[in-house]
Structure 1
Amino acid sequence: MIVDYLATILGTVYKVPGVIESTMSFQDLEIDSLSLAELGAQLEDDLGVTVEEEDLAPTTTVAELAELLEAQGAVVPA
């Protein structure tokens, strides 16, 4: 599931501490704009989708990003 994939990436690569809830925004998770840009590039590489800068606003939630990725046909790598 893409939400779980995103939580794993945020916790391991971006070192977000604690539990990552799907309702949390990137602002809640204290992810800065540079990290959001890097996340977008990583998602494009890993999932083969296009992630626009406005899709990764500080107020975007993990669930909203997951829905966007699913709508584009993203498949979590095995």
Structure 2
Amino acid sequence: MYVEYLTNLLNTVYKVPGTIDPEKSFLELEVDSLSLAELSAHLEDELDVPIDEENLSAATTVAELAALLETHGAVMPA
């Protein structure tokens, strides 16, 4: 559920091209540090869950971020 949400967000808002492999890091997906900061703020606002900088880095994978969202009880938008 969160993997699909994140891949859609990365494709549409952050313009990551092609099919996103959830096991690839943000560095491998060529998501820069500014986009990661924006993504963190976006997730905090939209899903009402805190994302610490230590939990979201260039080395973090989409799957790891999805698991973090689930662990923190993120609320998916309607």
The residue that corresponds to 1:19 in the other structure is 19
Q: Which runs of 5+ in 2 are unaligned?
A: none
The residue that corresponds to 1:48 in the other structure is 48
The count of residues paired between Structure 1 and Structure 2 equals 78
TM superposition shift of 1:75: 2.1
How high is the TM-score relative to the length of structure 2? 0.96
Deviation above 4 Å: which 4+ runs of structure 1?
none
Q: How does 1:1-78 map to 2 (within 5 A)?
A: 1-78=1-78
Question: Over aligned residue pairs, what C-alpha RMSD do you find?
Answer: 0.6
* Seq. identity, %: 63
How high is the TM-score relative to the length of structure 1? 0.96
Q: Which runs of 5+ in 1 are unaligned?
A: none
Q: Which amino acid aligns with 2:16?
A: V
